[in-house]
């Protein structure tokens, strides 16, 4: 699959505590790799294992047919309709 929500849930679920930075910013584990904002409808990109928000990643993948984080072009991205 192009975006794997189950992998994200598994990765985050394995941690008992996520540390919040002292400056109050969003912890890296909960940040979208693209926007650096809090993840919404999180998924993991299979090519680089980056955590992303599905809506933002889908838009960029549909525009470029490549990973918006590592720029890898993949047959999985061609014709994607997320």
- How do residues 1-55 score in pLDDT, each as one tens digit? 445 555 666 666 655 566 777 887 888 888 899 999 988 888 888 888 899 998 8
pLDDT for 33 equals 94
Residue 54, C-beta contacts closer than 8 angstroms, at least 6 positions apart? 3, 5, 40, 41, 42, 43, 82
Residue 32 has a CB neighbour count (10 Å cut-off) of: 22
* Chain Cα centroid distance, residue 51: 3
pLDDT for 1 equals 46
Q: Are 45 and 57 in contact (CB under 8 A)?
A: yes
């Amino acid at each position: 699959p192009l975006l794997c929500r189950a992998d994200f849930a598994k990765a985050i679920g394995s941690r008992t505590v996520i540390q919040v930075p002292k400056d109050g910013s969003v912890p890296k584990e909960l940040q979208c790799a693209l926007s650096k904002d809090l993840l919404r409808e999180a998924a993991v990109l299979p090519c680089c294992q980056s955590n992303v928000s599905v809506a933002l990643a889908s838009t960029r993948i549909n525009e470029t047919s490549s990973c918006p984080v590592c720029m890898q072009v993949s047959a999985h991205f061609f014709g994607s309709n997320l």
